[in-house]
Structure 1
């Protein structure tokens, strides 16, 4: 077996791998000898089938396996000896397409190697970390918002009509084609108008009702309704209104605090202050991280694999196109050509991605199983009742696992760098932090 260099320009590599017919034949014989003791064939005892017959019966299949293993083995040995790390999957082609048994196998291999990433001294990177303290006004604002979520409902004055946001206590009986249907009736049901708990049109039909009234609400079930026998059907709900209640914000006192798990109002204020400062710290970290990445982008320069930049630019262009055309859900659209701006952003992303990966590898940064599991659980909560299915999907999908691990790894590498950089703290207002965060989106 021989490996000949055909291209070595920048990061581009090309090789020609030749596997002789004799080498292939020897590999086939070895595989057949290994399998011979377990092979049974009519007219022969187990393990006594002649090699010539085995070769005739199984030779073509084993030959294909031998070719693949030989090429893969030669490629792996080459990468190990050269130290090359392909940026993407190497392209491999048969050079002699008219190959027949008894000929040597010649395969051409081409790829772009990952570049050597230079060492970086982080100590001369100067960064400012914004610190925001939660002021009394912010805590009071959060308290007011909590009071609204903990609102109670009190009866409106007699004869008052229900408004959007009011709570209506009522009985109802739903009918399709004049016949009641299963699950379409209830007594003393409490519904907040505008909450979207019922099918479209139902809650709107109760706006304006008064206590003691009876009203028929006509609706049409959505075509995609989960009960097939009701999907798309017209229905009439016979409603009897008992009470119309207006929302009342809860009193901001110790009793309200207990609803949110605090001992008293001061305890709740302390929890709010701590939560707000956690949110401020998260926003400030995003600002610091962007400043660090900007500094690294300026500080470090090395050759980038064109294939990675091209792929990243295409992905950026595609994503931005869909953001500008939200009505197009699939990929049945014209080909999207990356612009110079897309390519420039792709170059930054690829450079920083390779740099952080190299720094993390040298620093032996690892994402623990516990950290990964916690991240999956956090995402799973967004799927409500389908959280279990999401969890199982991630367990069975390597690509999804990588998508979750990648940002965790990046954040740990960033922390590693920040520990060595010159980072000073600066106390600022909430508005200053907000402006800095908004500036991130504008860049």
Structure 2
């Protein structure tokens, strides 16, 4: 389970077993996330009491706050089944189909809908299956046979054709030369002060390799060693650490983007986005908003910053005043997006691993940049994306995308203990975007 999943787990919990959410010691202003979670809890209590209508109304309201959220849509199917309302069940399944998600209805749901309209049920189930059909093509250009590394991020230096990969469990940045793609070299490690390494970025302007690093349950710390989080800048040619950037209040720097020497960094465990104006500058808070839940991938497009929120969708952040607004989505679910980058023409490329099916999507924004105009699935069902693994981060350059296709997060226990299962070698997949 990824470190993103802990922030999403509550909202993905089963409707019938939702706990009462503990309140903070000091009351905080309600947010869409906190309101939706309370609605989830109330709906669970109503359903257990047999009040299916109240449960339905609460979950519909939660859906307004979290559009196309997989857990809410699945909950509506459960409620319709308990209420014996086939029409509501079909509507919820239709919405799951429209959201581009997959779902296997429970036996009691199938029995209810089959009796009401078997032909319609057959068509819906076929559409759900089609949502997982393999789409697009990608070439495996490298395999990293380091099963204990837990590879999360990738970055490519176009000038030298070197590939860099980040290791969570071994606290390293690995480098693959073009003539030896299967022989990773340690570019930087804990001796440089690195904790677990997540996002990477090659900045052609500064000729730096940037890395976001921090501590999670899977981070091996020495006895007495303290965790932390920082943004690191390494000289691309020598591998020497140029500087480490920290800021008070940061919890988990996760991913970032760099343009013209300026870095924009998300914090996955605090509702903040940071900015670094130059390699000689200091991190500052660009945006801090209690509505942020679990910030992940970062992209620059249409004069604004776009940040994936694992639990909410995609935020558009004004680069001048840091104000944030959720991008208005189409029917396709934007929940569970991890990696996020942009093409030269302002198209967003997103990796979704927090909802099924896992896929890489191209998101076209409307001219204002505040609404989704179109979504195209670029890659889904690739052989490298199969099994108990998940695609994570992506890098873009020169009309191509490079993807960590099968990060082994689900195979690394959340308690940091030694994985019991065999982990596959990590596949780096190249997608032609031209």
TM-score where L is the length of structure 2: 0.20
Identify, as 1 or 2, the structure richer in helix.
Answer: 1
Please tell me whether Structure 1 or Structure 2 has the larger radius of gyration of its CA atoms.
Answer: 1
TM-score where L is the length of structure 1: 0.19
Instruction: Indicate the structure whose relative CO is greater, using CA pairs within 8 Å and at least 6 residues apart.
Output: 1
